């Protein structure tokens, strides 16, 4: 019995010891889980970042585009390059798939709300946007401009916005203070509606906004013009091509654009007036004028040479632009209908009129002809901020600023909660002064063989008209179709023997206004 009792007591002691040992190994009581909380201070979609008083919102969209008979994947007109020529290198359709992602953070402080915002677009589209010319994709050619990121498995990332807002200041990459809230999109899908300013993809700047109450505000800012607000400066000693293109003789950026607006934003709509000052500067009087040798690599037109620095340069000038914008809401045609339009005038800052969401275009379009002896017709328009002809070449050596004006707008109508239609259009004009015209025409006409009724005038107008219908079967999912017409009203007359870019032949071409129509289908899901 003693032996049995000893065994039982020993086992009990061991069990108690093991129990206390296991109890010592038990984890401490878990901390309460801090669930993500909704932040209602700044609208729907914001949440508190756990452990902080900062609210954050993630958003974005997925978009698929197909454009037929266009010069760009977002319903761009076929007004230049292979699409403008209408040759066999152009794509009859072009496609794009894009994922846009944005992040918005806001924190309340004793100085007001601190906001940060960023947006990036992940894109894959047709190589060359609407062309498959070897000149665009073969990197061994001297004229190569390949973007090989568009090949299989490629694509690119575009950084659109990244800014900080604090105490009325905005710093970083954001929309210009010159811009309207709708930029170049009063009702259209196309990213190529000319006639006014467009910085929808952001510009590096610093700006300050003052709120005067009752919907009245004012903003002043400094924009970096390097990327988005410079077209070209033409040194007219450099030969102009058969379709009006010329090397860019802009100097480096010496000063920011000074921009600002006064805005009234109320229940009836919006009124805004904007102004901008822009520095225009030429590089040198002597620049490269020789074309690259056949099959070789040479300096591009207007590139500097060893004689450039000692040749002098034109004096810098300041140009500027103004824009007025109006939105009228609650019009009697239906709930949510509105009219938006803006009108612009620019001198020396043509990008604020001949503007897209990317660079400003120049135009070179070919078409049919009924003129005897002519191979085809051609229309062109060169987009510049200024032109100059140095004194040593017979000119006055001064910059002659280019004048431009435009108007654009849209009527937006909702048929019901699921269907809507926008009718949009624009008109723009580019004008050169008398001295600039004389110098341009002397350069362009040169030794060309021209007809008896030939006349030279580099002025031109553009007109656009389009309609887009959208179907939104469920919230944040929209299917749309857009038809766009583009017209180039050029001012040359007669014919001339020209040598355009290959594959066009050297032949007689009739100068004639040109037209093109494109069609775009889009699906977009916002989140």
Asked if the peptide bond before residue 503 counts as cis, ω within 30 degrees of 0, the response is yes
- Interatomic CA distance for residues 230 and 400, integer angstroms: 15
Which is it for the CA torsion 290, 294, 298, 301, positive or negative? Answer: positive
- Interatomic CA distance for residues 164 and 472, integer angstroms: 33
Beta strands in 141-249 (DSSP E): 156-166, 169-174, 203-213, 216-223, 233-235
Q: What is the pLDDT of residue 11?
A: 45
On the 0-12 / 13-18 / 19+ scale of CB atoms within 10 A, 477 is middle
- Interatomic CA distance for residues 25 and 21, integer angstroms: 7
SS (H, E, C) 309-335: HHHCCCCCEEEEEEEEEEEEECCCCCC
Cβ neighbours for 26, distance < 8 A, ≥ 6 positions apart: none
For 109, what's the count of Cα atoms within 13 Å in the CB-facing half-sphere?
A: 11
- Interatomic CA distance for residues 383 and 366, integer angstroms: 18
With beta carbons less than 8 A apart as the criterion, state whether 75 and 67 touch.
Answer: yes
- Interatomic CA distance for residues 387 and 283, integer angstroms: 12
- Interatomic CA distance for residues 183 and 402, integer angstroms: 23
User: What is each CA distance from 78 to 64, 85, 87, 296, in whole angstroms?
Assistant: 20, 8, 11, 30
Q: What is the pLDDT of residue 143?
A: 44
Token pair, residue 416, equals 């019901």
Domains of the chain: 67-77+165-526 (2.40.160)
- Interatomic CA distance for residues 107 and 116, integer angstroms: 9
The DSSP element (H or E) to which 452 belongs, if any, is none
With beta carbons less than 8 A apart as the criterion, state whether 120 and 160 touch.
Answer: yes
- Interatomic CA distance for residues 45 and 496, integer angstroms: 62
Cα 518 from chain centroid?
19
End-to-end CA distance of the chain: 79
On the 0-12 / 13-18 / 19+ scale of CB atoms within 10 A, 497 is middle
Cβ neighbours for 187, distance < 8 A, ≥ 6 positions apart: 340, 409, 410, 411, 412, 422, 423, 424, 468
Local confidence pLDDT in tens for the 527 residues of the chain: 444 444 334 444 443 344 434 444 545 555 555 577 999 999 999 999 998 999 999 999 999 999 999 988 889 999 999 999 999 999 999 999 999 999 999 999 998 999 999 999 999 888 777 777 766 555 444 444 444 556 666 788 999 999 999 999 999 999 999 999 999 999 999 999 999 999 999 999 999 999 999 999 999 999 999 888 999 999 999 999 998 888 999 999 999 999 999 999 999 999 999 999 999 999 999 999 987 666 566 788 999 999 999 999 999 999 999 999 999 999 999 999 999 999 999 999 999 999 998 889 999 999 999 999 999 999 999 999 999 999 999 999 999 999 999 999 999 999 999 999 999 999 999 999 999 999 999 999 998 999 999 999 999 999 999 999 999 999 999 999 999 999 999 999 999 999 999 999 999 999 999 999 999 999 999 99
Nearest Cα to Cα of residue 380 among 84, 76, 72, 91 = 84
Token pair, residue 23, equals 């109890």
Phi, psi (deg, nearest 5) at residue 351: -60, -25
Q: What is the pLDDT of residue 30?
A: 55
- What are residue 474's DSSP bridge partners? 477
Greatest CA separation for the chain: 137
Token pair, residue 479, equals 């299917």
Q: What is the pLDDT of residue 72?
A: 81
With beta carbons less than 8 A apart as the criterion, state whether 460 and 489 touch.
Answer: yes
Would you give the DSSP letter of residue 214?
Answer: T
With beta carbons less than 8 A apart as the criterion, state whether 248 and 232 touch.
Answer: yes
For 72, what's the count of Cα atoms within 13 Å in the CB-facing half-sphere?
A: 17
- Interatomic CA distance for residues 461 and 381, integer angstroms: 8
């Amino acid at each position: 019995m003693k032996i049995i009792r000893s065994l039982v007591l020993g086992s009990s002691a061991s069990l108690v010891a093991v129990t206390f040992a296991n109890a010592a190994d038990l984890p401490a009581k878990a901390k309460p889980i801090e669930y993500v909380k909704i932040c209602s201070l700044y609208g729907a979609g914001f949440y508190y970042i756990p452990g902080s008083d900062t609210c954050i919102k993630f958003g974005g969209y997925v978009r698929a585009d197909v454009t037929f008979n266009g010069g760009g994947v977002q319903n761009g007109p076929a007004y230049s390059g292979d699409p403008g020529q209408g040759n066999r290198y152009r794509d009859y359709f072009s496609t794009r798939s894009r994922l846009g992602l944005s992040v918005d953070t806001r924190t309340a402080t004793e100085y007001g709300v601190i906001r940060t915002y960023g947006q990036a677009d992940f894109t894959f589209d047709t190589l060359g946007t609407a062309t498959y010319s070897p000149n665009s994709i073969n990197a061994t050619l001297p004229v190569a401009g390949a973007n090989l990121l568009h090949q299989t498995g490629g694509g690119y990332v575009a950084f659109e916005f990244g800014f900080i807002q604090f105490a009325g200041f905005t710093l970083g990459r954001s929309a210009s203070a010159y811009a309207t809230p709708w930029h170049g999109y009063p009702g259209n899908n196309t990213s190529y509606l000319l006639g006014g300013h467009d910085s929808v993809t952001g510009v590096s700047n610093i700006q300050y906004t003052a709120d005067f109450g009752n919907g009245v505000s004012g903003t002043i800012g400094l924009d970096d013009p390097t990327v988005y607000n410079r077209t070209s400066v033409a040194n007219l000693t450099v030969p102009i091509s058969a379709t009006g293109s010329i090397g860019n003789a802009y100097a480096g950026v010496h000063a920011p654009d000074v921009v600002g607006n006064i805005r009234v934003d109320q229940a009836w709509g919006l009124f805004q007036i904007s102004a901008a000052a822009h520095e225009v500067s030429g590089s040198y009087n002597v620049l490269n004028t020789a074309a690259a040798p056949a099959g070789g690599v040479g300096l591009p037109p207007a590139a500097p040479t060893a004689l450039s620095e000692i040749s002098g340069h034109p004096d810098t000038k300041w140009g500027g632009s103004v824009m007025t914008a109006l939105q009228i809401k609650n019009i009697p045609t239906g709930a949510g209908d509105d009219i938006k339009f803006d009108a612009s005038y620019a001198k020396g800052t043509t990008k604020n009129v001949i503007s897209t969401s990317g660079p400003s275009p120049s135009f070179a379009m070919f078409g049919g002809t009924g003129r005897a002896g002519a191979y085809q017709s051609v229309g062109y328009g060169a987009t510049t901020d200024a032109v100059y002809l140095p004194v040593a070449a017979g000119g006055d050596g001064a910059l002659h600023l280019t004048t431009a004006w435009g108007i654009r707008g849209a009527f937006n109508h909702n048929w019901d909660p699921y269907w809507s239609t926008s009718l949009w259009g624009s008109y723009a004009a580019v004008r050169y002064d008398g001295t600039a015209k004389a110098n341009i025409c002397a350069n362009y006409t040169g030794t060309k063989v021209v007809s008896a009724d030939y006349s030279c005038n580099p002025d031109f107008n553009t007109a656009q008209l389009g309609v887009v219908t959208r179907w939104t079967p469920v919230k944040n999912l929209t299917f749309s179709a857009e038809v766009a017409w583009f017209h180039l009203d050029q001012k040359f007359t007669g014919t001339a023997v020209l040598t355009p870019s290959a594959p066009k032949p050297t032949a007689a071409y009739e100068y004639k206004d040109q037209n093109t129509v494109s069609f775009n289908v889009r699906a977009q899901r916002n989140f």
